[in-house]
Amino acid sequence: MSQATAAERYFLSLVNAERGRNGLQPLTLETRLNDSSEDHSRWLLQTGNFSHTGQGGSSARDRIEEANFPLQGSWRVTENLALLSDNGNGSLLDEVRQLHQNLMDSPSHRANILDPNVTYLGVGLETGMYQGQRIVMATQNFASTLGPVNLDAAPGIIISTVAAPVLNVPPPNGAAWLSQVGEPHRGNFGTAGNDLISRGAGNDRVFAGQGSDWIVAGAGHDTVSGGQGNDVILGQMGNDHLMGDAGNDRLSGGFGHDVLMGGDGDDVLTGDMGFDRLFGGAGNDLLLGGFGNDSLNGDMGNDTLIGGPGNDQLRGGAGADQFVFAGAIGVDTILDFQPDIDRIMIARGLVGPNVTGFVNNRVTETDQGVVIDLGSGNRIVLLNPDLTRQDVADDIFLF
């Protein structure tokens, strides 16, 4: 995967200026389109050809697929070629300006540059001898795809797109739980089996013991321990303290300022409404803060943390963690970001079409760490004065 040179980035800026003047979205460089473009420009120089038919009779589509660019869903591919004498002054900027003007003066090439149905661009500029004179050979590969891409967002920075992570989970289903556990023990106290416990108003203390239990705490400030087993614990109303303990548990705080502790196992913790504190414990956990200013701590394991609306504090803990941001997030603070280990997952809509501009203008270093400005008062603050903009940008993934 190649990244564009300064001259190739200048070519991109000229293309995007034309698109902007015509009300079109900017294009973003893509590393594998860069590969296909550079390979074709080199081949043209080496063979003395000037054609869209390349090595082995390949088409532009063939070369783009050979570079592993994913043509998935509704995709599109076009190609521009141009050449120009090299004036030999050590800079290709003059040549790029003239190459761009020549392309814009050609109706078919201009149509490719101003195509509203492409999103990504690869640029290959190569210099060498062609028919007895030194020239600059240019290939532009334009494309769109619904597949994952590797965006050449800035010098030294690649931002990849990935499939959307889980942003929310459906509420626990009582009928499904019953079908799995069979006839449970029903009452106010736990047993060694699978218990169905439902409490009403009041400040209750519930210890379910072993088994896969379904516990509804009801109104009041409740303390609930699921014990061993795959438990479902619903706090409902009040400021509750819910502990899943061992097992793959589902904990939901409901309304109130709740404390949720998953314990061992792969747990799903949902704060819901209120200022909640969530602790994943050991295991690969999913923590969803919900509405309010929440504190999420993944602890051990490869965890996914989603603060939701509100000013949240996020700590992944040990493991390769994902911090996910979509919609109105408020001002969220990541307390322990690990470069090259953790991921920052951002919804594409928060970044906009100009990924290069986003990286250059909205990912900034401060004396406390790095700030990602998502606009409209939404920000991600990564606390660590030793973090650099490149540390963070390289670990941003768009979905």
The model's pTM: 0.90
Q: What is the pLDDT of residue 112?
A: 98
Residue (of 306, 260, 270, 268) closest to 284 by Cα position? 268
Q: What is the pLDDT of residue 251?
A: 98
The set of residues, in sequence order, having a beta carbon less than 8 Å from that of 144 and lying 6+ positions away, is: 74, 75, 76, 117, 118, 119, 120
Question: Could you tell me what percent of the chain has a pLDDT over 90?
Answer: 94
Characterise 29 by phi-psi region: left (phi > 0), alpha (psi -120 to 50), beta (else): beta
Residue 68 has pLDDT above 80, yes or no: yes
Pairing relationship of beta strands 369-375 and 378-383 according to DSSP bridges: antiparallel
Identify the CA nearest to 83 among candidates 144, 127, 31. 127
Q: What percent of the chain has pLDDT over 70?
A: 100
From 117, 159, 139, 156, select the one nearest 34 (Cα to Cα): 139
- Res 367 pLDDT > 80: yes
Residue with tokens 């943390």: 305
H or E element at residue 107: helix 107-113
Return the residue matching tokens 């590393």: 31
- Distance from C-alpha of 331 to C-alpha of 342, rounded to nearest angstrom: 19
The amino acid present at 379, given as its one-letter code, is: R
Give the sign of the dihedral formed by CA 49, CA 53, CA 54, CA 57.
negative
Please tell me the predicted confidence (pLDDT) of residue 90.
83
Looking only at the bridges linking them, the beta strands covering 185-186 and 195-198 are: parallel
